[in-house]
Structure 1
Amino acid sequence: MDTTNQEINASQKNKLTLLLCIILTFTVMNGTMFNVAIPDIAEEFQLLPSQVSWVMTGYILVFAIGSLMYGKLADIYPIKTLLTIGIILFASGATLGFISPNYSTLLAARILQAMGGATIPALSFIIPARFMPNERGRVFGIVASTVAFASGVGPIAGGLVGGAFNWRFLFIFSMISIIAIPFLRKWLPDEEIRPGKVDIIGAIIIAIAISSTLMFITTLSIIPLVVAILSFGLYTWRAFTHDQPFIQPDMLKNKYYSTTILTSFLGTVCMFGMIFVIPIMARDLYSLSTVQIGFLLFPGAMAAGIIGQYGGKLIDKHGSYPILRVAFLLVIIGSFLISTFIGLPAWVIAASILIQYMAFPLIQSSTANLLTVIIPKERTGVGIGLFNLVNFLAGAIASAIFGSILDLENTSIQLNPLGQNGPNIIYSNLFIGLTVLSVIAVTIFSLVYKNNKEVKAARNN
C-alpha cells in the first residue's frame, strides 16, 4: 500500500523524530568536525594545503549533488530503502576512513561517506512532509534546530576528540550510525514504488553543472565556470524537450517556489557567512584557540537548538509567513550588533552571535514548511531536494565570497558609523553587508507573498 498521504501514529512520530535528529547530528558534525582536523591530516600524509583541501571539497561536491539526487529518488522509491542504503554507505565510508593507510584511501572514504550521508538531510525534510502532515512545522523546527546545534558542537567535538586521541577517531561518530537501520525500518511506513522514471542523462548534466559551479566557487578558475554555464544551458534545452526531465521547468516558473528558494538561499548565505567569518575574526582579533572559538559559537548553537523546537510549534499555530519575517529580523539585529561591537570583549560578541544564530532554524523550518504547501505532492522529493542543494550552495558561496573579501585585509572605509575603529573595520563592514542582505531578502519575500489569495493557504501552514 502506498502511504504517501498516510499519517503515522503519535508513538512512531516521536520515536522517528528523535532517531532522525540523532543521525542528523552525526551527519552534520561529520562535516564540521573535519575542519579542525585538516592540519593534522596534512601533517600525517605530508600534503600541501591544496591537496588536503579535497578532504572537504570532495565531500562537499558529492554531498551537494546527492542532496538533490536522493530527493528526486524519494518521489519514486520508498524512503525506507533509500535511508537504509544511505546509512550503510555512510558508515562503510567512516570505517574505511578510520583504517585508511594513505591519502587516496582517505579521500575515497570521504566520498563514500558523502554518497551515503547525503540521504539523511535530504530525506529528513521529506519524512515530516509525507508522514507527519499535521505536525510538519513542529518537526521541521526540530530538524532545523538539530542542524544548527550540531554545526556549533562539531568544531568543539572535533577539537576535543582530535586533541585527546587522533583525527581518525572522528570517524567513530559516523560508524555507529549503522545501529539506526533496524529502528528506521521498523518505524518508517512501507511504501510501494510509485510511477515515474529518473532522467539519468539530465541528472548527469545537473551533476556536472553543480560540480563545476562549486569548483569555480572554491578555485575561481575560468574553466569550471565555462563548463557550468554550458552545462546549465544544455540542461535548460533538455528540460524543455524531454517528456520527464530531472527537474520540471514549471517548478522554477512558480514565483512562490522560486521566491521561497531565493529567500532561503539569502538567509543561509547570511548564517554561513557569520559562521565562516567569526572563527577567522576570533583568531585574528582575539587570538582565541580552536576550542575557545568553538565555545564562542556554542551559546548560539544551544539557543538555536531550543528556539527551533518552539519555532516549529509556532509555525504550526501561526503559519510560516510571520515566523520567517521574525527570523530575518533576528538576523538583521544580530548582524548589526556584531558589526557594532567588534573590538569589545568576546562575551559581547558571543551574545550578539546568539541573537543571529537563533534565526537559523526558524528560516530553515519556515521555508521548508512553505515549500511543502507550494509543491505538488508527487514532486515533494525533488522540490525539497533542490531546496537542500541551494542551501548547500549558499554555504559554499558565502565562504568563497567572504574569504575573498577578507583577503583584502585592510580598508579605511567604515560603513557602520557606530562601529569601532581599528583593524576590525573590514569585519564590521562584512556584517553590515549581511544586515543589508537580510533586509533585501525579507523585502523580496514580503512583496511577493503580501495580500496574495493564491498563497493564503501557504501562509497559514
Structure 2
Amino acid sequence: MNTSHSQINLHHKQILLWLCVLSFFSVLNEMVLNVSLPDIARDFHKEPASINWINTAFILTFSIGTAVYGKLSDQLGIKKLLLFGIIVNCIGSVIGFVGHSLFPVLILARLIQGTGAAAFPALVMVVVARYIPKENRGKAFGLIGSIVAMGEGVGPFIGGAIAEYMHWSYILLLPIVTIISVPFLAQLLKQEEVIKASLDNVGILFMSLGIVFFMMFTTFYKISFLIVCLIFFLLFVQNIRRVSNPFVDPALGRNISFMIGIVCGGLIFGTVAGFISMVPYMMKDVYHLSTVAIGSGIIFPGAMSVIVFGYLGGVLVDKSGSLFVLTTGSAFLAISFIVAALYIETTPLLITIIVIFVFGGLSFTKTVISTIVASSLEQKEVGAGMSLLNFTSFLSEGIGIAIVGGLLSVRLLNQKLLPINAEPPVYLYSNILLLFAGIIVVSYFVTMNMYKRSRINI
C-alpha cells in the first residue's frame, strides 16, 4: 500500500518536473530574443518595423495557438497535442538556427516556434488539474507560476550574454532542450478518451488573416493592408454568427463591461510589451550600451521584480481591493513613462528603475484586469470569456511590438515636443514614452468609469 502510494507521488512529481521545464522555456522563448533586436537589425540592415516581426511572428502564432490548443484538447487529447507542440517548437528552432542568415526563413522559424510553444500555456494547467491530486494543486500552480516568472527574468540576461559572447543565432537553439521531455511525457501521460466535435476552421482562418494584415498595417502604414484587415474581420464576425460552434462566442460581444475590460487590458499589455521591445533600441541609441549590459543591467532587474510585485499585488487585492491595485498599477506605469520621457538622457540607472516600476505596474494591472473581467461574466460564460482574455492578452503584446517597430521606423514623432535638452534621436523615444503614458491614463479612466457604472462586485 505504501509502495503503491509512493509510486503515485513519484509519478506526479515527474509530471510536474517536466511541466516546469516546458513552462520555463515557453516564457524564455518569448523574452530571450528581445534584447538582441538591435544587433539583428544591424546584421540585416533593416529598420525596427521589420526586425520587430521576429517577436511579433512568434507571438502571433503563439496567441492564436493557445486558443486553438484549448479548443482541441477535448477532441484530440492533451498527450498528443503537448508532444506535438514540443516537437514543432524544436523543429522551428532548428530551422531558425540553420537559416538565420535569411530573414524570411528566420520569420518562418519564429512562426513555427510560436505554433509549437503555444501548447505549453494552453495545456500545462490542464495537465496539472487532471494529474495532480487536489490537495497538491495549489503548490503545483504556485511552482509553475514561479518558474514562469523566473523565465521572464533570466530571459533577457541569457539572451544578452549569448548575443554578446557568441552570436544571437544560438539563442534560437535554447528551446531544443525541451525535446528531452518527450519520451518521459509519452510514458507518464495516459491516453485519454476524446470527444468528437467540430472546430471552426473558417473562423480561425478569417481571424488570423485579419490580425496579420492589421499588424502589417501598423508596421508599414499602407491603407491597403487596413482595408484587407477590415474585410477579413467582417467575414469573421459573419462566420461566428452563422456556425453552431464558433471560435469566439458572439454573445460575449454583447457584454459591454467584458469587452471594455478586454480592450483596455489589451491596450495596457500591448503598451508595456511595446515599451520593453523599445528599451534595447533606446539604450543603444541614447547610451550606446552593449547587448549584455542591456539584458543584465536594464531589463533583468525589472523582469525579476515581477515575483515580488506579483505577491504584493495579491496581498493588496485582499487588503485594499481590486480598484486600489488597478489605480496603483496604472500610476506606476503612467508616472514611469512620463519620468522616462522627461529625463531619458540622465543616466542608465534611471531606466533600470523605470523598467522595475513598469513591470510592477504590469503585474498589478494584469491581476486586476483578470479579476474584473471574470466578475463581468455569468457562470456559463467564464470558460469562454477567460480563454478570450488570455488570447487577447498575448495578441495585444504582438500588436504593441509591431506598432512600436513601425513608430521607430517611420519616425513621425522625431521632433521636439517636450522641454528637454537633447539630440533629435532622443525626441523620438521621449515622444513615444509620452504616448505610452497617455494610453495608460485613458485606459485606466475608461475602465474605472465602466466598472463603476456596471456596479460589478470586485
Paired AA for residue 224 in structure 1: F
Paired AA for residue 303 in structure 2: A
Matched residue, 2:257: 256
Matched residue, 2:112: 112
Structure 1, residues 376-395: CA drift from partner, whole Å, max 9, x if none? 67766654443233233323
CA contact (8 A) 1:128 1:135 kept: no
Would you say how many aligned residue pairs link Structure 1 and Structure 2?
443
Matched residue, 1:413: 417
1: CA distance between counterparts of 2:454 and 2:51? 50
1: CA distance between counterparts of 2:211 and 2:236? 11
Matched residue, 2:3: none
CA contact (8 A) 1:333 1:356 kept: no
Question: What's the CA shift for 1:441?
Answer: 1.5
Question: What's the CA shift for 1:282?
Answer: 1.7
Matched residue, 2:121: 121
Q: 1:373 to 1:199 in 2, by over 3 A?
A: same
CA contact (8 A) 2:96 2:105 kept: yes
Matched residue, 2:166: 165
1:84-233 equivalence runs, <5 A: 84-99=83-98, 103=102, 108-123=108-123, 150-151=151-152, 153-181=154-182, 192-194=193-195, 196-233=197-234
Structure 1, residues 60-103: CA drift from partner, whole Å, max 9, x if none? 44334323322333465544443232122212332444455974
Paired AA for residue 72 in structure 2: L
Matched residue, 1:450: 452
Q: 1:123 to 1:12 in 2, by over 3 A?
A: same
Question: What's the CA shift for 1:291?
Answer: 1.6
CA contact (8 A) 2:92 2:110 kept: yes
Question: What's the CA shift for 1:321?
Answer: 4.7
Q: 1:269 to 1:107 in 2, by over 3 A?
A: closer
2: CA distance between counterparts of 1:413 and 1:92? 47
Worse-matched range after superposition: 338-347 or 385-394: 385-394
Worse-matched range after superposition: 94-103 or 347-356: 94-103
CA contact (8 A) 1:129 1:372 kept: no
Structure 1, residues 26-72: CA drift from partner, whole Å, max 9, x if none? 2233234334556877899x887798776555434433432332233
Matched residue, 2:302: 300
2: CA distance between counterparts of 1:254 and 1:133? 33
Paired AA for residue 93 in structure 1: G
- Seq. identity, %: 30
TM-score normalised according to structure 2 size: 0.79
Matched residue, 2:283: 282
Question: What's the CA shift for 1:268?
Answer: 0.8
Worse-matched range after superposition: 309-318 or 426-435: 309-318
Paired AA for residue 357 in structure 1: F
Matched residue, 1:6: none
2: CA distance between counterparts of 1:145 and 1:325? 25
Matched residue, 2:22: 23
Paired AA for residue 212 in structure 2: S
Q: Aligned-residue CA RMSD in angstroms? A: 4.1
CA contact (8 A) 1:69 1:385 kept: no
Q: 1:221 to 1:11 in 2, by over 3 A?
A: farther
2: CA distance between counterparts of 1:127 and 1:319? 32
Aligned residue among 363, 367, 370 for 1:368: 370
Paired AA for residue 336 in structure 1: I
Name the SS for the 2:325 alignment partner: helix
2: CA distance between counterparts of 1:56 and 1:181? 26
Matched residue, 2:4: none
2: CA distance between counterparts of 1:133 and 1:251? 31
1: CA distance between counterparts of 2:72 and 2:181? 21
Q: 1:329 to 1:75 in 2, by over 3 A?
A: farther
CA contact (8 A) 1:21 1:143 kept: yes
Q: 1:257 to 1:145 in 2, by over 3 A?
A: farther
Matched residue, 1:324: 326
Paired AA for residue 417 in structure 2: I
CA contact (8 A) 2:264 2:443 kept: yes
Q: 1:260 to 1:178 in 2, by over 3 A?
A: farther
Question: What's the CA shift for 1:250?
Answer: 0.5
Aligned residue among 348, 352, 355 for 1:353: 355
Q: 1:393 to 1:195 in 2, by over 3 A?
A: same
Does residue 272 (structure 1) correspond to residue 273 (structure 2)? The answer is yes
Worse-matched range after superposition: 147-156 or 339-348: 147-156
CA contact (8 A) 2:210 2:228 kept: yes
Does residue 70 (structure 1) correspond to residue 72 (structure 2)? The answer is no
CA contact (8 A) 2:59 2:397 kept: no
Does residue 427 (structure 1) correspond to residue 429 (structure 2)? The answer is yes
2: CA distance between counterparts of 1:153 and 1:234? 42
Structure 1, residues 412-439: CA drift from partner, whole Å, max 9, x if none? 322xxxx643234443333232222222
Name the SS for the 1:343 alignment partner: coil
Matched residue, 1:241: 242
Q: 1:411 to 1:75 in 2, by over 3 A?
A: farther
CA contact (8 A) 2:257 2:450 kept: yes
Worse-matched range after superposition: 377-386 or 86-95: 377-386
Paired AA for residue 217 in structure 2: F
Name the SS for the 2:33 alignment partner: helix
Q: Which runs of 5+ in 1 are unaligned?
A: 1-8
